[in-house]
Structure 1
Amino acid sequence: MYGYVPFHYFNWRQSHSQGWTAAMVELNQQLRTLWEQHVFWTRLTINSIVDRLPDEQVTTARLLRNPKDFAALLEPLYGAAVASKFNQLFTEHLAIAAELVKALQAGNTAAAEDANKRWYANADALALFLSQINPYWSEQEWRRMFYEHLKLTAEEATTRLAGQYEQNVALSDPIEQQALVMADMMTHGIVRQFPALF
């Protein structure tokens, strides 16, 4: 059920890893860490919202640091304006996700549908933005990856809300795998765009 892994990006990573420079390895490790932190803190925030835990505020604050950490990595490569725009779009992605979970929790179908529509529109905006700043990042591929990310995250929220804990935990593996694929996609594009740096 949760077997989605686009192996062509893993294969790219494996086939090129022997020839990687130290700078390429460092970039990939940084991006993998950021994407894993993204899905890790998203999961914890969903749990805090659903279970009305007292750590919701501080957990959400830590999650919202993630776009800023991405922006800090991107700024030396793309400049402050691009980094700021990514921070804005990625923060919106997280804010809408929280809205969606709370709407689902409240049984507010109209609000949930509105949040979901805006969530996918934000994914479209992210995919377009990334394709515009790096010629080696495909808008279509990023859209497909973001849509799958949203689908998995929504399932993560709905299974938690339904108390389907085994299914909820099982989702962690494909969510993590996909996060690492997105990190490798980013690495691939950056290295190709800035070969002199790597």
Structure 2
Amino acid sequence: MWLIAQRFQTTIQDISLANPGLDINNLYIGQMICIPQRYSRPAPPVGISSTEQTLSNHVRLLWEQHVYWTRMLILSIAFGLPDAEFVTHRLLRNPSDFEAALRPFYGEGIASKFAELLTSHLTIAAELVKAAKAGDSAAATDAEKRWYANADQIAAFLGGVNPFWSAQDWQRMLYDHLAMTKTEAVDILTQRYADSISTFENIEQQAMAMADTMTQGIVKQFPQYFS
């Protein structure tokens, strides 16, 4: 839906208003979608190569795994499940997987630095949930402060390695990600499970936006690989 909105120079909200009952998260081939008339003149279509599609699929998978395993760890910590150590181990594989995906484009140094920053992002999140569960407000406040500082570092880092990635955009997206993840954790800890699921659906959609931003930046920066 995001790609459709971009092509017709409109917004997802406007398309949704023009299509009552449309499930924007469950589109299918051959589906008829009405575009508001003022946006009926599409921009020239741009072909997507198989290599770009492969990268997009892989980056989306990595961000999907990022938020899913984060949720699983929140649940494991909240309920004291015996799988917490194993879930943590799997979650912390995510930065290494991102590192492997970025290495062919940026080399070992940049890829490993991103993995380092992303690992801190995840470990601080775990600290925050544990502190919140224990009722240690001082530790929770300290962890949250470091969490946002880490988000600033990630945004600045990404903005510095790719001219098509905006540090401000990444900061905004990461701040949204942190805020929603905190809400999700609080919902689970306070037994508002339906709310936590609703929040997680928003987290998932926003993760796809971050994935697409990452892919589009790489494709623009390295067009020789995607012609």
- TM-score, normalised relative to structure 2: 0.81
Q: Superposition pairs for residues 79-90 of structure 1, below 5 Å?
A: 79-90=107-118
For residues 3 and 122 of structure 2, the distance between their equivalents in structure 1, rounded to whole angstroms, comes to: 25
Which of residues 113, 136, 143 in structure 2 aligns to 1:115?
143
Partner of 1:39: 67
1:170 lines up with 2:164 in the alignment:
no
Picking from 15, 26, 38, the partner of 2:54 is 26
Q: Quote the residue 1:105 is aligned against.
A: 133
| SS at 2:92 equivalent | helix
| Structure that is richer in helix per residue | 1
* Residue 63 to residue 193, structure 1, CA distance change in 2 (3 Å): same
Counterpart in 1 of 2:25?
Answer: none
Higher relative contact order (CA 8 A, sep 6+): 1
Q: What residue identity is the alignment partner of 2:183? A: E
Alignment-derived partner of residue 93 in structure 1: 121
Indicate the RMSD between aligned Cα atoms, in angstroms. Answer: 1.8
Q: What is the match of residue 72 of structure 1?
A: 100
**Number of residue pairs aligned between Structure 1 and Structure 2:** 192
- How far has the Cα of 1:11 moved from its partner? 3.2
Give, in whole Å, the separation in 1 of the partners of 2:142 and 2:177. Answer: 18
Point out where structure 1 has 5 or more consecutive residues left out of the alignment.
Answer: 1-6
Aligned to 1:160: 188
Secondary structure of residue in 1 paired with 2:119:
helix
Contact 1:103–1:111 (8 Å) recurs in 2: yes
- Per the alignment, residue 184 of structure 1 pairs with 212
Which structure has the bigger radius of gyration? 2
Gaps of 5+ in 2: 9-42
Q: 1:106-157: CA deviations, max 9, x gaps?
A: 1001000000000000000000000000000000000000000000000010
One-letter code aligned to 1:141: D
> Quick check: 135-144 or 165-174, which moved more?
165-174
Q: Normalized against structure 1, the TM-score is what?
A: 0.93
Give per-residue Cα distances to partners, 1:61-100, cap 9 Å, x unaligned: 0000000000000011000000110010000000000000
User: d(CA) in 1 for partners of 2:213 and 2:7?
Assistant: 9
Shift of residue 13, structure 1, vs aligned partner: 7.8
SS of the residue corresponding to residue 140 of structure 1 reads: helix
- Distance of 2:180 and 2:194 partners within structure 1: 15
Please give the alpha-carbon distance, in whole angstroms, between the structure 1 residues aligned to 2:96 and 2:45. 28
AA at the equivalent of 2:201: D
**Residue 175 of structure 2, aligned match among 147, 154, 165:** 147
Q: Percent same amino acid at aligned positions?
A: 52
Aligned mates of 2:50, 2:148 — CA distance in 1: 36
Counterpart amino acid of residue 196 in structure 2:
N
How far apart in 2 are the matches of 1:70 and 1:10? 27
Distance in 1 between residues matched to 2:5 and 2:210, nearest whole Å: 13
Q: Is the 8 A contact 1:9 1:181 kept in 2?
A: no
